[in-house]
A and B are shown apart, each in its own frame.
Chain A
Amino acid sequence: NAGVTQTPKFQVLKTGQSMTLQCAQDMNHNSMYWYRQDPGMGLRLIYYSASEGTTDKGEVPNGYNVSRLNKREFSLRLESAAPSQTSVYFCASIRSRSRETQYFGPGTRLLVL
């Protein structure tokens, strides 16, 4: 099992460019999550997908869109990147939404110039 994988590992964008961060899990988990981590702050939830075909906003959704492509894959899209979106992005998944812990990917470092 690869667990949770994320691509790319690192990306540099110019302001206004768009890109999609990819996340996949091979654990047959139902729920998937996108977080961002900024220096001096804890992880903050951007969007989540409780099950295939559903998505919901988290704490900081502005400037992002998501797609739950199938049960395995959950992508995060930046339509017009801004310097404030410079961050480390983590994807996570969980089999069921209570009494269990989330499994995290290794992260994508994004720098927006």
Chain B
Amino acid sequence: KQEVTQIPAALSVPEGENLVLNCSFTDSAIYNLQWFRQDPGKGLTSLLLIQSSQREQTSGRLNASLDKSSGRSTLYIAASQPGDSATYLCALDQTGANNLFFGTGTRLTVIP
């Protein structure tokens, strides 16, 4: 069974710092990997989606990479801002049916 792990569970950084969030998975047979953002008491918002044939995706200050052979993905956030404070979740689709396996998330706090 696919297991998705995100370490650390929580991270605090000063404003302006660049940071990396990690996601690891046990089964490399994936269809795609997604990164979501969740604000307290809210639903999830999609940030980036990487197909299995891709190595990375970029959107603004965000860059997500995928290394299937090592079972890892990273989300890089450049020049962090207080508005980036949220929980970040990675999720895997193994078959293309969009039945997602989620990690436990990393709670990010950006300190002004």
Contacts and interface: CB of A to CB of B under 8 A. Distances in A.
Interface of A: 4, 31, 33, 35, 40-45, 48, 50, 58, 90, 92, 94, 97-107
Interface of B: 4, 31-32, 34, 41-46, 49, 51, 89, 91, 96-105
Contacts of B31: 98
Nearest to B89: A42
21 contacts: A4-B43, A33-B98, A35-B102, A40-B104, A42-B89, A42-B103, A43-B44, A43-B91, A43-B100, A43-B102, A45-B100, A48-B99, A90-B43, A99-B32, A99-B51, A100-B98, A101-B46, A101-B49, A104-B44, A107-B41, A107-B43
A107 B98 contact: no
Q: Is the interface of B mostly helix, strand, loop or mixed?
A: strand
Nearest to B47: A101
Contacts of A97: 96-98
Contacts of A33: 98-99
Given A99-B32, A104-B45, A105-B43, A50 B97 contact: yes
Contact of B104 (A42, A100, A102, A107): A42
B103 to A, nearest CB: 5
A90 B44 contact: yes
